[in-house]
Amino acid sequence: MDVIESLHSRSDDTTPVPRHVAIIMDGNGRWAKARRLPRIAGHKQGVEAVRRVSKAAREQGVEVLTLYAFSSENWRRPEEEVRDLMGLLRHFLKNELKDLVAENVRLRVIGDYRALSGDLVAMIDDAIAKTSVNTGATLVIALNYGAQAEIVAAARRLASAAQAGEITADAIDEAMFSDALTTHGLPPLDLLIRTSGEQRLSNFLLWQAAYAELLFVDTLWPDFDAAALADALAQFGRRQRRFGGL
């Protein structure tokens, strides 16, 4: 079999599909700038990409899709942009809940979303509750999320438990620590994609990315689609994961 053929045969149904994919959805602002549009126009197209790509991920067999929607550092943006982003989130939750229920998707949120405005917190809690019985794919949205804060919160929780005598310090291991993170119970992260050409993690899933395959693509998030996802999954399928072994 020549190289091309063997590459081909790996993209058939024997190719391993990542169970858990995370995406740093970056490049909305640049997408808008290239069209001389206001940044909000890029964020609006970004929401369309979320709809498109989350549906495609389910169709392509991904069990869990985790999307970085708003970082704990994004509060540093101009007030108007933060307001626009929260408005789009409100819109998304309102419109998407029906579809999530119809498509048997469970919604989870990671990050300190309780610091968002009260109506958003209520909408998020409602969407989580209404989809909690679903048994299909899981959509995880990272809102006001920062990995360092998540790790500190887990350390604090375990330290309190130790102080209260519920656990001993020696009992704390990787499994217990993982369970104290907001991603507890989710399958390990297999593939982490960042769009827009930037090659950094920007405080996303630092613990969970320990053995994830990393993929940086130049496509701006509003242009990311089912074909781009399929391409990312195919690239994942060609990676050789070793986990420190041979």
Residues labelled as active-site residues: 26, 74
Q: Minimum CB separation from ligand IPE for residue 176, in Å?
A: 29
Tell me the closest approach of the beta carbon of residue 188 to ligand IPE, in angstroms.
Answer: 21
User: Counting contacts by CB under 5 A, is residue 71 touching Mg ion?
Assistant: no
Contact stretch for ligand IPE (CB under 6 A) within 3-11, 70-78, 98-106, 173-181: 70-78
Q: Is 69 in the site for ligand IPE (CB under 6 A)?
A: yes
Across 13-157, where does the E strand assignment appear? 20-24, 64-71, 106-110, 138-145
Map 127-169 to HEC letters: HHHHHCCCCCCEEEEEEEECHHHHHHHHHHHHHHHHHCCCCCH
Please report, for residues 9, 153, 175, 226, the alpha-carbon distance to residue 25 in angstroms, rounded to integers and kept in the order given. Answer: 30, 25, 29, 14
**Residue at token pair 């909000």:** 40
Q: CA 45, 189, 144: angle at the middle one, nearest 5?
A: 50
Per CB under 5 A, contacts with Mg ion among 3-62 are 26
Structure tokens at 112: 């300190």
User: Of residues 30, 44, 90, 157, which one binds ligand IPE by CB under 6 A?
Assistant: 30
Residue number, 26 or 96, with CB nearest to Mg ion: 26
27 belongs to the binding site for ligand IPE (CB under 6 A): yes
Residue ranges at the known binding site for substrate: 27-31, 39, 43, 71-73, 75, 77, 194, 200-202
Q: Binding site, residues? A: 26-31, 39, 43, 71-73, 75, 77, 194, 200-202, 213
